């Protein structure tokens, strides 16, 4: 086998290896994205909205806490921590702070850092009268 043939085989092998690795990278990235954004539950929670804020060092996210309805003593178990998906919902929640609200949320397996601190993402809020 000559040196030229060896070079050609090595170049052909490296091209195939590059394409296999590139396809594997994109397949892994897509699977990882769908895993992290997969919704495992959806529902509502009702209570008094007592905190809503914009926070974060690198990614600014909207975070809030809800004191669950029917609970008189406020502790870790009686509060619901959540993240808000968009700025319009955050703005409407600021006007509802201290009032009874119903939050519609979806729970992700593992939210990305730019989606919020929690896996509970609120996508709708309504005042309960």
pLDDT of residue 17: 96
pLDDT of residue 124: 94
pLDDT of residue 65: 92
Q: Residue 62 belongs to what domain range?
A: 39-127
The DSSP bridge pattern shows strands 120-127 and 79-84 to be parallel
Check which CATH number belongs to the domain holding 80 and give it. Answer: 2.40.50.140
Maximum CA extent, the chain? 86
pLDDT of residue 39: 87
pLDDT of residue 116: 83
pLDDT of residue 112: 83
Number of domains in the chain: 2
Contact present, 103 and 44 (Cβ < 8 Å): yes
Inform me whether the pLDDT recorded for 1 exceeds 80. no
| 55 in the same domain as 15 | no
| 69 in the same domain as 101 | yes
| 32 in the same domain as 58 | no
Tell me the mean pLDDT in the region 93-120: 89
| E strand spans, 36-75 | 39-55, 61-68
| 73 in the same domain as 27 | no
Tell which phi-psi region holds residue 46, choosing left (phi > 0), alpha (psi between -120 and 50) or beta. beta
| 73 in the same domain as 28 | no
CB atoms within 10 A of CB 53: 14
Mean pLDDT (the chain) is 89
Residue-wise pLDDT for 59-102, tens only, equals 889 999 999 877 766 777 788 999 998 899 999 999 999 899 99
Percent pLDDT > 70 in the chain is 97
């Amino acid at each position: 086998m000559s040196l030229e043939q060896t070079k050609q085989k090595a170049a052909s092998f490296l091209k195939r290896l590059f394409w296999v690795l590139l396809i594997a990278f994109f397949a892994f990235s897509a699977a990882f994205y769908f895993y992290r954004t997969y919704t495992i539950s959806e529902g509502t929670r009702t209570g008094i909205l007592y905190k809503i804020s914009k926070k974060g060092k690198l990614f600014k996210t909207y975070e809030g806490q809800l004191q669950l309805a029917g609970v008189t003593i406020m502790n870790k178990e009686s509060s619901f921590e959540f993240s808000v998906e968009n700025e319009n919902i955050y703005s409407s929640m600021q006007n509802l702070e201290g009032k009874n609200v119903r939050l519609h949320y979806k729970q992700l397996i593992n939210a990305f850092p730019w989606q919020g601190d929690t896996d509970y993402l609120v996508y709708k809020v309504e005042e309960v009268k």
